Structure 1
Amino acid sequence: MAAVEPVVGEPAAVADLGGERALLVADVHAGIEVGLRYERGVELESRADERRDRLCSLIDETGVDRLVVLGDLAHRVGAPEGDEREELEALVGAVTDRVPLTLVEGNHDAGVAAAFAGDDVGVIDPRGGLLTDRDGSNPAAAGVAVLHGHTRPDPSLRSAAVVCMGHEHPQVRLEDAVGGSRTERAWLRGPLRPSVLDGEGGTDGDGEPAGSGPELVVFPAFNERSGGTWINVEGGSFLAPFLPDGLAAGDAYLLDGTRLGDFRRI
């Protein structure tokens, strides 16, 4: 049985592919400080070294065989250049000194995929694909599928037991008894409606029971500066074209593993 287990306290998970184990993260948004400077005139001290060290430490601590980034490895859309490219080169180099890197192409990654694809960096189509172990010989690996989430999934993902995606940057806003509030990154997990994988949107038009689809795991953003979707705020707007209707039901979890329950009722 395919297994995707979050790393407690981190916006990352380990996927058991049978023949190997992979560390999965989403939305690294390398170079975000450069992007914010150009997009909004906001000057922030770069956390490039911290992001790289955190990611490499997770690879070392979990002992995985591969890193899979569920899209948006980079922040700015288009070919990376200048400080952003330098950050990406250092990040990709540090990762591939340890393990191969698989990038699911996100809406920010067109230039990144072209610049870094090679022997140690594989690229998966934005609509997603099924992960296999390194030599592709273990059929159990097909139990885990990955995509970014800005487009509808490829129908081939229907055969997966678990579908992992990024793009959404789910967050919850929590309030205390005296009216204070805080925002925390969160996981979102629940059964994906089968019709999403048939290209029919988010409803079960084919009459299949909602529970017959694979489990969907929506990853929190690895980059804490990238903002996100408040999944428990009325009027909150999801980014993926198949959410939230594509989830028959879904529970939210904090990074420390705390289960908050149905995201629609938090």
Structure 2
Amino acid sequence: MARGEPVTVEPVVGEPAAVADLGGERALLVADVHAGIEVGLRYERGVELDSRADARRERLCDLIRETDADRLVVLGDLAHRIGAPDGDEREELAALIRAVTDRVPMTLVEGNHDAGVAEAFADELDVIGADGGVLDGTVAACHGHTWPAPALLDADVVCTGHEHPQVRLEDAVGGSRVERAWLRGDLDPAAFTEAGTEADLPDDPPELVVFPAFNERSGGTWVNVEGQSFLAPYLPAALPAADAYLLDGTRLGEYRRV
């Protein structure tokens, strides 16, 4: 299938977010907000951290304003704890969703941490199922924890989360730091579809964009460290060659060689 004019999913410099034109709408896209992560870490690991709920909510709202977005699209894991939200986590989600939807409509692509979120906030959210969907005919979205719908291959760009890509960078004296990163490259359609699935594989594959986690406390996959296991069932095979980019826009080159 021949592609039309190139579609741009443009990262916001310095932020784990991107903008895209969706059929006349300007959308702000983020992945892995993990609202309530501090509540989850308290219950899961006994770790006590000061809540950054207000800062996360304010940053999302600031980004909507700064990018002049008409819609917010969350590529899964809006919530952190797996299960229906309750208690402090539900309160944080309610405040975040209310703050966003007072400004623009909000679309949630269901992630593995979003069980019960769509039901709990059905009146406030537009929801796309876990196998993803095509947002406007050119940009597709999925979370990444399960095999995506073959229809996503008809898009020009596929946006996905779940992986929380990070790079481990070393300096000349042996020090190191870990930073969130984007992965971008041509998608291998055969590796993007579950074995045994009947799908028409395009000759001109879409680009795959793997989003960094919006939540800086959620950890991630060190994509340039040998032996790291990827989380998405189609990665890394669906990205046989991909470049890594830091949030500030620095291109690091092929991610395996960083």
TM interval, shorter chain, is over 0.9
Does 1:222 find its partner at 2:214? yes
Q: Given the alignment, which residue of 228, 232, 242 partners 2:224?
A: 232
Q: Give ranges in structure 1 of 5+ residues lacking alignment.
A: 132-140
The sequence identity of aligned pairs, in percent, is: 75
Q: CA deviation at 1:245?
A: 1.0
Q: How many residues align?
A: 251
Q: CA deviation at 1:113?
A: 1.1
Does 1:130 find its partner at 2:134? yes
Which segments of structure 1 move beyond 3 Å, counting only runs of 4 or more?
208-211
**Other-structure match for 2:144:** 149
Structure whose residues are more often helix by fraction: 1
**Other-structure match for 2:237:** 245
1-structure distance, mates of 2:82, 2:254: 34
1-structure distance, mates of 2:107, 2:202: 31
CA contact (8 A) 1:150 1:167 kept: yes
SS of the residue corresponding to residue 241 of structure 2 reads: coil
Instruction: Write the letter of the residue equivalent to 2:125.
Output: V
**Other-structure match for 1:256:** 248
Q: Give ranges in structure 2 of 5+ residues lacking alignment.
A: 1-5
CA contact (8 A) 2:34 2:78 kept: yes
For the aligned residue pairs, the C-alpha RMSD in angstroms reads 1.7
CA contact (8 A) 1:21 1:65 kept: yes
For residues 94-138 of structure 1, what are the alpha-carbon distances to aligned partners after superposition, in whole Å with 9 as ceiling and x for unaligned?
Answer: 0000000000000000111110122x410001110000xxxxxxx
Q: CA deviation at 1:252?
A: 0.2
CA contact (8 A) 2:35 2:78 kept: yes
Q: CA deviation at 1:248?
A: 2.3
For residues 206-241 of structure 1, what are the alpha-carbon distances to aligned partners after superposition, in whole Å with 9 as ceiling and x for unaligned?
Answer: 9x9998321000000000000000000010110001
Does 1:2 find its partner at 2:7? yes
CA contact (8 A) 2:192 2:238 kept: no
**Other-structure match for 1:87:** 92
Instruction: Write the letter of the residue equivalent to 1:130.
Output: V
**Other-structure match for 2:110:** 105
For residues 141-162 of structure 1, what are the alpha-carbon distances to aligned partners after superposition, in whole Å with 9 as ceiling and x for unaligned?
Answer: 3110000000111000111000
TM-score, normalised to structure 1's length?
0.91
1-structure distance, mates of 2:154, 2:202: 15
Q: Given the alignment, which residue of 140, 158, 169 partners 1:174?
A: 169
